[in-house]
Amino acid sequence: MSIAPRIRRREQPVPTQGWSEDVLPLLQRVYASRGVEDPALARPALAQLLPPDSLGGMEAATGLLMDAIASRARILVVGDFDADGATACAVAVRGLRMLGATDVVHAVPNRITHGYGLSVGLVEELAPLQPTLLVTVDHGVACHAGVAAAKARGWKVLVTDHHLPGEALPPADAIVNPNLRGDGFPSKMLAGVGVIFYVLLALRRRMREGGLLDGCEPDLATLLDLVAVGTVADLVPLDANNRALVAAGMRRLRAGKGCHGLNALIEVSGRKATTLTASDIGFAIAPRINAAGRLEDMALGIECLLSDDQSRARELAEILHGINAERRGVQQMMLDDAEAALARRSLDDASVDAVAICLHDADWHPGIVGLVASKVKERLHRPVIAFAPSEPGSDSLRGSARSIPGLHIRDALAMVDAAHPGLIGKFGGHAMAAGLTLDSAHYPAFENAFRDAVSGMVTPGMLEAELLSDGELSPAEFDRRHADAIRDGGPWGQGFPEPLFDGVFEVLDWKIVGERHLKLSLRGDGLREPLNAIHFGGWTGDAPRGNARIAYRLAADDWRGARAIQLIVEHREPA
């Protein structure tokens, strides 16, 4: 089953004055409805970035890096096994080399072998590298034992992270994280890749002031393609600061100036670099990077992003493309299992099960449970945690949680941990996504405790799925000019959603394409010509007839060279 969303129209405040003539009135309305009152903040430029020195811990962090560079010491960058962690690792390695580091190596934990972050086992495996300075990217603030193990070996440790910290911090020599308590950085939304990019900006400034760049200052903006991909992939809210970073990176990718690895991934995914959108990154580029960390080894993804050989980058991109195809197959099998499990439950609104959902299967893959949780959450509009054995036959479970707006999922886990000490092994994450470990014997008790915690945190309204619409389009706005303006008016993403419109249309014709997708021909009031529309996964076995209320996105359609438009249907219901 699924929870049918309710279409609710956003408030439409009157746009402020001062917009340039090249910003269409439609976009002005969209920006205003997202709280943008200053035209300069609609499309923020790099010059508007928050200053690096406003991020806490920079003096200690840049001091560690300057000492390592000056002494030609070995710097070990330890990444993470998702797209944010992979791009952050690539940015750190490339950026440090640009700033004069002569001995930079990197490593990444294996999801199955090591689990998340800097563990004691990973430190032991990395010991033969004998680094002077270890730098974590996109993790570390919760890795107390791993940081302590590295320190015990005499290594300096710099933690760069964006995840929420626990009550205590690890014993690192320096920590840079905008979400540390008391940190005054105005934007708490930086992804892991954004944090390390800021560290590099601060390092360059300090080296410049110290006369260490010999008049040859590296252009760190060349790393923004990677920053854009990691930021979009990690689903952090696109506040003005993140939009400036992502927009600049996407300009590089559209101009063909991305690194070889990203250019190759764009090509193998069938996207066009010249019209690349944040949606393309989220649905095509990031999944191919993530696939390596889910089913194989993220070292493949990082190698692709670091490759300066075009043919090697293409070879690695093809491998990642193949792994992603395998991932889709495994994901579908797990989703089928989840559907069967849900069908055996009572999921009506009066049921306790309707508040929060835990799923577990002994045959599931731990690298895919987050995707299963996300898909089930989208269908049922409930917080979901999916669990799999840490490795085949293990009594340890790894869970991946996805939440709904208004419910801070990490806080829910913290509440369970406080009420039932020892029930959870370890946990961490964000408001909308988190991870945890659990002994399989504790699963039934955890399921009940999690439901109890969520029940005390949600209101009935939070459990109602809704689509926020920007209202109706006028007949004059159904054209290519407006479709292109929307595409180029972003970047759109988490916290700054792509425009969604709604209206009533007559279904003139329809057909099934690709087994599950609906191709529609629609008539709208005041329109001379029918509109083409596509509803991906929209075939439910019932023939669409008569009038329908449709929530849709206005998109360009360049199929076979035509400069046309089409509606991307997100939801349809009888009018």
Q: Is the dihedral of CA 449, 450, 456, 460 positive or negative?
A: negative
Neighbour-count burial of 169, counting CB atoms closer than 10 A to its CB (0-12 exposed, 13-18 middle, 19+ buried): middle
Contact 179, 165 (CB under 8 A): yes
Please check whether residues 283 and 393 belong to one and the same domain.
no
pLDDT the model gives residue 1: 57
Domain match, 504 and 433 both: no
CATH code where residue 473 lies: 2.40.50.460
350 has a pLDDT exceeding 50: no
Distance of CA 247 to the CA centre of its chain: 16
Which residues make beta-bridge pairs with 502? 551
pLDDT of residue 227: 98
Q: Is the pLDDT of residue 348 over 50?
A: no
Tell me the CA distances in angstroms from 57 to 65, 131, 159, 504, one per residue in order: 13, 22, 10, 54
Give residue 561's pLDDT band: very low, low, confident or very high (50, 70, 90): low
Q: What is the pLDDT of residues 409-452, one digit of tens each?
A: 999 999 999 999 999 998 888 888 899 999 999 999 999 999 99
The pairing of strands 531-535 and 517-523 is: antiparallel
Does position 349 have pLDDT exceeding 60, yes or no? no
Beta bridge partners of 531: 522
Residue 25 shares a structural domain with residue 97: no
**CA separation for the pair 439, 100 (Å, rounded):** 46
Does 515 map to a domain?
yes
Residue 545 lies in a domain: yes
For residue 305, report the phi and psi dihedrals to the nearest 5 degrees.
-70, -25
Q: Alpha helices of 185-298 — where are they, by DSSP H?
A: 192-209, 224-233, 240-254, 260-268, 278-280, 286-295
Evaluate if residue 276 carries a pLDDT over 90. yes
CATH number, domain with residue 285: 3.90.1640.30
> At residue 39, does pLDDT exceed 70?
yes
Q: In degrees rounded to 5, what are phi and psi of residue 552?
A: -150, 165
In the numeric block, the tokens 């993140």 are attached to 242
Task: Tell me what pLDDT residue 180 has.
Answer: 96
Q: Closest Cα partner for 199 from 68, 303, 43?
A: 68
Question: 238 with 281: CB under 8 angstroms?
Answer: no
Instruction: Report how far Cα 297 is from the mean position of its chain's Cα atoms.
Output: 19
Positive/negative CA dihedral, 88, 93, 94, 100: positive
Strands (E), 382-443: 384-389, 396-402, 424-429, 433-439
Q: Final residue of a domain: which of 407, 440, 463?
A: 463
Q: Which residues contact 125 (CB under 8 A, 6 or more apart)?
A: none
Q: What is the pLDDT of residue 169?
A: 96
Whether 527 is in a domain gets the answer: yes
Lowest-pLDDT range, 116-120, 180-184, 349-353, 391-395?
A: 349-353
* pLDDT for position 352: 42
Query: What's the token pair of residue 390?
Result: 């840490």
- On whether the CB atoms of residues 169 and 110 are closer than 8 A, the answer is no
pLDDT in tens, 294-304: 888 899 999 99
- Could you tell me if 20 and 81 lie in one domain? no
Burial label, 92 (beta-carbon count in 10 A; 0-12, 13-18, 19+): buried
The structural domain count of the chain equals 3
Domain that holds residue 408: 345-463
Q: Are residues 457 and 471 in the same domain?
A: no
Cβ neighbours, 10 Å, residue 445: 14
Strands 396-402 and 433-439: antiparallel
336 within domain boundaries: no
Q: What is the 3-state secondary structure (H, E, C) of 164-217?
A: CCCCCCCCCCEEECCCCCCCCCCCCCCCHHHHHHHHHHHHHHHHHHCCCCCCCC
Regarding whether 410 and 313 lie in a shared domain, the answer is no
Mean pLDDT along residues 557-570: 86
- At 476, the pLDDT band (50, 70, 90 cuts) reads very high
Q: Which of 463, 478, 509 is the last residue of a domain?
A: 463
Percent of the chain with pLDDT over 70: 98
Could you tell me if residue 339 is inside a domain? no
Per the domain annotation, does 264 fall within a domain?
yes
Report residue 70 as tokens. Answer: 């000056």
Q: What mean pLDDT is reported for the chain?
A: 93
Task: Determine the average pLDDT of the residues in 125-154.
Answer: 97
CA distance 239 to 242: 5
Does some domain include residue 330?
Answer: no
Q: For the ranges 186-195, 393-402, 560-569, which has the lowest average pLDDT?
A: 560-569
Tens-place pLDDT, residues 482-537: 999 999 999 999 999 999 999 999 999 999 998 789 999 999 999 999 999 999 98
Same domain, 125 and 240: yes
pLDDT at 354 over 80: no
Q: What span, in angstroms and rounded, lies between the C-alpha atoms of 436 and 71?
A: 40
Last residue of a domain, one of 402, 436, 463: 463
Are 107 and 126 in contact by the 8 Å Cβ rule? The answer is: yes
Task: Provide φ and ψ at 520, rounded to 5°.
Answer: -120, 150
Residues 512 and 473 in one domain: yes
The CA distance from 322 to 295, in Å, is 11
Look at the block and give the residue holding tokens 């800097």.
118
Which tokens sit at 353? 């099960």
Least confident segment among 68-82, 142-156, 546-560: 546-560
Same domain? For 431 and 476 the reply is no
Question: What would the mean pLDDT of 324-353 be, rounded to a whole number?
Answer: 80
Do 34 and 91 sit in the same domain of this protein? no
Predicted local distance difference test score (pLDDT) of residue 346: 57
Distance CA 58, CA 202 (A): 7
State the DSSP code for 281: I
- Residue 340 is assigned to a structural domain of this protein: no
347 pLDDT more than 90: no
Eight-state DSSP code of residue 111: T
By DSSP bridging, strand 466-469 and strand 517-523 are unpaired
- Here the CATH number for the domain that contains residue 415 is 3.10.310.30
Q: Which of 135, 84, 79, 133 is nearest to 108 (CA)?
A: 79
Same domain as 560, residue 418: no
Q: Are residues 311 and 367 in the same domain?
A: no
Q: State the burial class of residue 255 (Cβ atoms within 10 Å of its Cβ: 0-12, 13-18, 19+).
A: exposed
CA 102/CA 96 separation, integer angstroms: 9
State the distance between the two ends of the chain, measured CA to CA, in whole angstroms.
22
